[in-house]
Chain A
């Protein structure tokens, strides 16, 4: 169940990252031209006045696209989605170990993702310093960079699924082994 949650949320973030990438592609293909349909909606916004992309916004798109695709899209899909779903099946365990802890880790990931997306709407915009956030460029960046970092911290809390997932794995590895041993005992 948690695996499904991770997978669906991961796919939604993947879609968001895809939209960011399409905006980047627009700027590369038609630099300085206003965006055709969405440009009318964004015309009043500070990042795309009149539908034309500002250079800060392009850097924001680059940084956030990388971050969201990798940390909010691919890793939760692979580790959270496939891991939580398939791993118990693979070893014959009824469920993942520590269900409440698992749930908290999912909500940490969700909150981290929401914080990252809200960083677009603060004055100064989202993180601009690439998805690697090298200092000193990320140190002189506006508020959005801090929100990026906070979102990343929440995501690190959720990747307990990878680290504590090892303990979780250990827990239901034990369950799985006892199931397998029981199965053998029944056969013999």
Chain B
């Protein structure tokens, strides 16, 4: 169960705007500019923006979805092979649009489970 998010709470230390009072959000794993997913598993990405219209684009997955401030738009895909791929921004969003990008890391299901456990252990540390 994911925690509640609110755009008003977005800050440097809270990039997703997680509500600190929500119990369900305590164990959510937050990554910056990286998307870790297991292979051969359908994945849903919920997209939202704070300032201007961007576009979440995964060229390898044939995924492109405009991200509109104030809306939460889901997009789903299923990766068929492991590897490191690129997440790009596909809608002009200002001066830094050309370098707005991230990494999509597709791992086998075992590796993904291991990564999840590592992240959960990190999160559980006080």
Partner of B92, one of A56, A129, A135, A140: A129
Interface residues of B in 57-84 (CB under 8 A from A): 69
**Closest residue of A by beta carbon distance from B69:** A136
Number of interface residues of B (CB under 8 A): 10
Complex Cα distance, B69 from A136, in Å, reads: 8
Complex Cα distance, B53 from A134, in Å, reads: 8
A123 within 8 A of partner (CB): no
Q: How far is the CB of A139 from chain B (nearest CB, A)?
A: 9
Beta-carbon contact of A59 and B53 below 8 Å: no
Residues of chain A within 8 A (CB-CB) of B51 are: 136, 140
Partner of A136, one of B53, B92, B98: B53
Residues of chain B within 8 A (CB-CB) of A140 are: 51-52
By secondary structure, the A interface counts as loop
By secondary structure, the B interface counts as loop
B32 within 8 A of partner (CB): no
B29 within 8 A of partner (CB): no
Beta-carbon contact of A136 and B52 below 8 Å: yes
Complex Cα distance, B98 from A136, in Å, reads: 18
**Closest residue of A by beta carbon distance from B53:** A134
A137 within 8 A of partner (CB): yes
A94 within 8 A of partner (CB): no
Q: How far is the CB of B15 from chain A (nearest CB, A)?
A: 19
B119 within 8 A of partner (CB): no
Interface residues of B in 21-65 (CB under 8 A from A): 51-53
Could you list 20 further interchain pairs (A-B, Cβ under 8 angstroms) beyond the known A56-B95, A134-B52? A55-B95, A55-B98, A59-B92, A59-B94, A59-B95, A62-B92, A129-B92, A130-B92, A134-B53, A134-B91, A134-B92, A135-B53, A136-B51, A136-B52, A136-B53, A136-B69, A137-B92, A137-B94, A140-B51, A140-B52
Listed in ascending order, the chain A residues whose CB lies under 8 Å from chain B are 55-56, 59, 62, 129-130, 134-137, 140
